[in-house]
Copies of this chain bind each other. A is one copy, B any other.
Amino acid sequence: MDQKKALFYEMVSFITSVHQTMYVMTKELPLGDVTPVQYGILEYIAVSQPVTLSEISDCKHISMPNTSRELKKLTDKGMCEKAEAEDDKRKQYIRLSSKGQQFMDAAFAHMEREFLGRIGSADGEELEQMRRAMVLLRTKVFDTDGAI
């Protein structure tokens, strides 16, 4: 029983380190006129495109009206494009524009450089250990489905 409590406190400390690291890795990322929430939306689109407004709303936990508003701002800025779905005319498939794609490519490249700087001196064996550690935690602790 106490082993679980200890693991909980280890997790609290772990989460703090993760947040701090992500702050350091992204603080110099040039956002231009893109706000943090808008960046989060772009990141989600980049990974999951094409997406619908409802999917953004669900996954990023932003209400539909606010999602609509922020997405309008992003399209006005030329970062993404909406296309009516053929099968369902209510839906819109959203993708990054080429400008948005360049923006996100640069963002990921920046993060990757920061990341490589961190793991720079690790050899193949260590990298494989880290990968296994991430997979383990992702499936046993940070799985989105909830319980194991």
Contact = CB atoms under 8 A, between A and B. Distances in A.
Nearest to A117: B147
Interface string A113-141: 00111111110101111111111111011
B142 A7 contact: no
A66 interface: no
Given A11-B134, A116-B8, A136-B133, A3 B141 contact: no
Contact of A6 (B3, B129, B131, B140): B131
A50 B123 CA distance: 41
Q: How many copies of this chain does one complex carry?
A: 2
A3 B134 CA distance: 14
Interface residues of A, number: 55
A10 interface: yes
A137 B14 contact: yes
Interface stretch (A16-24, A29-37, A80-88, A92-100): A16-24
Interface of A: 3-8, 10-18, 20-24, 47, 61, 108, 111-112, 115-122, 124, 126-138, 140-144, 146-148
